[in-house]
Amino acid sequence: MIEIKKLAKRFAVDNPKKLSEQERRDPRLKGRFFHSVQDVSFSCDNGQVLGLLGPNGAGKTTTLRILSTALKADSGSIFIDGEDVLQNPIVARKKIGFLSGTTGLYGRLSGRENIAYFGQLHGMSKSQIEQRIDELADLLDMHSFLDRRSETFSSGMKQKTAIARAVMHKPALVILDEPTTGLDIMATQTVLEFIQRLKADGTPVIFSTHHLDEVSELCDRVTVINQGTSCFDGSLDEFKQLSDGNLHHSFMQALAQGESYVASV
């Protein structure tokens, strides 16, 4: 289980005069600091999939990067199976599989070599690495390109390889930042089926997306972030009840509620 409470993160603005007009109007800009994440809270139990929604610039990626320990929070708490992520980031990393918005593969290495390298970083033996790569290649339909240099890969091949690398060590929590962006229909379906498999195995999954059909297909819970604040956190059914059952309408309603809350504070 993962539990996040009152997460906050701000960034220093070196030269406010260089900000765009839209950035200057953002209420999160306070003096020489931009408060990307102000107050984000949500939880996800084992075997659940949580969809993280929000407009561009809402703070979703910053939140996920904090969860992955790539960024350090200014305040708040994160616990994974009772482990304090903020106090023990090195230990916590062993529990987390993180796919960022960019695949970051080593182009001169094959897909197999990219994945195996991360297995070595996690202390896996050669036999464990070989067995796990074969398992993931079956699940993600990777055998046809696994031994090619990754610099020759299509977007879908790169994404599948990056996902396999992220879950190589069988993490206790999987975090995916827009995992289907730029993928064709077949590659997207493979990724969605893999998330379903993680769910069936009892692994909690948190993924950000702009595709509400993916939320409908996969998610048990939904969290909506707007202007760095979680303005909705609940079950998929509760999210649907914000409107007439249309997820687009529910999303817009959650944003409206969040903006009313921010204006009243």
Every domain of the chain and the residues it spans: 2-95+171-264, 106-167
Q: Above 50 in pLDDT, residue 263? A: no
> pLDDT band at residue 20, thresholds of 50, 70 and 90?
confident
What does the pLDDT read at residue 104? 79
* % of the chain residues with pLDDT over 90: 68
Helices 155-166/185-200 angle, 10° precision: 10
Q: What is the mean pLDDT of residues 114-118?
A: 95
> pLDDT band at residue 208, thresholds of 50, 70 and 90?
very high
What does the pLDDT read at residue 264? 43
Cα–Cα dist 43/184, whole Å: 31
Cβ-contact 173, 99 below 8 angstroms: no
pTM of the full structure: 0.88
Q: What is the mean pLDDT of residues 30-39?
A: 92
Q: For 135, how many CA atoms within 13 A lie in the half-sphere containing its CB?
A: 13
Cβ-based neighbours of 219, under 8 Å, separated by 6 or more? 49, 50, 51, 236
| pLDDT tens-place string over residues 53-72 | 999 889 999 999 999 888 99
What does the pLDDT read at residue 138? 93
The alpha carbon of residue 96 and the mean position of all alpha carbons in its chain are separated, in whole angstroms, by 11
The residues facing 37 across adjacent strands are 9
Mean per-residue pLDDT of the chain: 90
| pLDDT tens-place string over residues 84-113 | 888 888 878 888 999 886 667 999 999 999
Cα–Cα dist 149/157, whole Å: 11
What is the DSSP secondary-structure string of 207-232?
A: EE-S-HHHHHHH-SEEEEEETTEEEE
Cα–Cα dist 105/159, whole Å: 9
The class (CATH top level) of 2-95+171-264 is alpha beta
Q: Above 90 in pLDDT, residue 9? A: yes
Q: When comparing pLDDT for 220 and 187, which is higher?
A: 220
Q: Above 50 in pLDDT, residue 224? A: yes
Q: When comparing pLDDT for 259 and 166, which is higher?
A: 166
Cβ-contact 42, 173 below 8 angstroms: no
